[in-house]
Amino acid sequence: MRRAVAVGAAALALAADAAAQTTPRRDPPASEAGAQLLSIVGLAITPDITASRLEIDDDSQLAGQRIDTLRLANDVSLATPDGPIYLEGNLGLARAQVDLRFGDEAVEANNFDAIGAFGAIGPDLGVGPFTRVRPLFILGVGYVDDAFGLPEPIAGEPEESLDLRQWSAAAGVGLSVEHERPLGDDVIDLRLKLSHVVFDTLWAADRRLATETVNQTANASAAYKHDTGLRLGSHPLLLTGLLGANAFLGDQQDALGFSWFAEYGAGVELDLSGGEGAVQRARLRFTGIAGADVTGISFGAGIGF
């Protein structure tokens, strides 16, 4: 079974409004916001999605939130004398406009950026002809930048600003399961990933932002690949469909403003596995995103080795 490696570059970000949530959302403490944004970059995206925009709604008087992400991802199984080793890594960039809380005050429509690099390693264990199980050790590092104003400055004095710059480290464990099997001329690829990651502030320009947060994320996806019978040269052209879901079970629920979202999409894939080159697959995919208080769309391009 060949491992797909998504190395994407894509752009498209337009989103519709979601229905208002039925219960008020607690605005996240400013000290948690950076780490939780990094969790979207490193932990939340299912295979092949490389660029997206998420719109977040609430029923309070605060402004709606928005998170834009761009992600380059890579995963591969390497043969070693001690058995195959699974490696996973991604580099992600996020730009967010979010509502935060500092003390008892809400600070609306803050804009800041985050960049994060995450990696995972573990044994690639075959438990059947079509199923792989991978216990993972996860490491990451991220940087958050920008500043926002504190509410209600003292009359006659300059408005104070809170410097949001900070470095965070992430460490945790995970479990990945993949089941990929042929169905006649078609293929179905099922994936499940569970992760438990702790983010800790390494350095913060304002020590009031130093914090430790726990992120627990569950990702599941099902991809179906249908052979159209068309060929580009000798290479089959496949139609693909995707259903996926991401659930956020830890501290990031408050900071992100939502606890889950589903993904549904379609695309095309060119099977290059019969060639002599290293590239095995080339993909294009359009994906919609919908969940509790969040909607969005994404467009991605990727290649597999």
69-81: per-residue pLDDT in tens?
877 777 788 889 9
239-296: per-residue pLDDT in tens?
999 999 988 887 766 566 677 889 899 999 888 876 666 677 788 888 888 887 778 8
Gap between the Cα atoms of 75 and 220, Å rounded: 16
Which residues lie below 8 Å from residue 178, measured CB to CB, with a gap of 6+?
131, 132, 134, 189, 190, 191, 192
Gap between the Cα atoms of 262 and 195, Å rounded: 18
pLDDT grade for 25, boundaries at 50, 70 and 90: very low
Gap between the Cα atoms of 22 and 296, Å rounded: 20
Gap between the Cα atoms of 277 and 202, Å rounded: 42
By the 8 A CB rule, do 215 and 248 touch? yes
* H or E element that contains 290: strand 281-291
Q: Is the pLDDT of residue 57 over 60?
A: yes
The CATH architecture annotation of domain 30-148+162-300 reads Beta Barrel (2.40)
140-161: per-residue pLDDT in tens?
998 888 655 555 544 454 555 5
Query: What pLDDT is attached to residue 42?
Result: 67
Type of residue at 303: I
Residue 272 CA, chain-centre distance (Å), reads 27
Query: What pLDDT is attached to residue 80?
Result: 92
State the average pLDDT over residues 231-245: 90
- In Å, the largest CA–CA distance within the chain is 75
Task: Give this prediction's pTM.
Answer: 0.77
202-225: per-residue pLDDT in tens?
888 877 778 888 888 898 999 999
At 268 the three-state DSSP class reads strand
Phi and psi at residue 152, in whole multiples of 5°?
50, 70
At 33 the three-state DSSP class reads helix
Query: What pLDDT is attached to residue 266?
Result: 93
Domain boundary assignment for the chain: 30-148+162-300
| Assigned token pair, 275 | 């060639």
User: Which of 60, 70, 153, 154 is CA-nearest to residue 108?
Assistant: 60
Gap between the Cα atoms of 66 and 144, Å rounded: 16
Q: Is the pLDDT of residue 65 over 70?
A: no
Gap between the Cα atoms of 230 and 238, Å rounded: 8
Gap between the Cα atoms of 213 and 249, Å rounded: 12
Gap between the Cα atoms of 248 and 241, Å rounded: 24
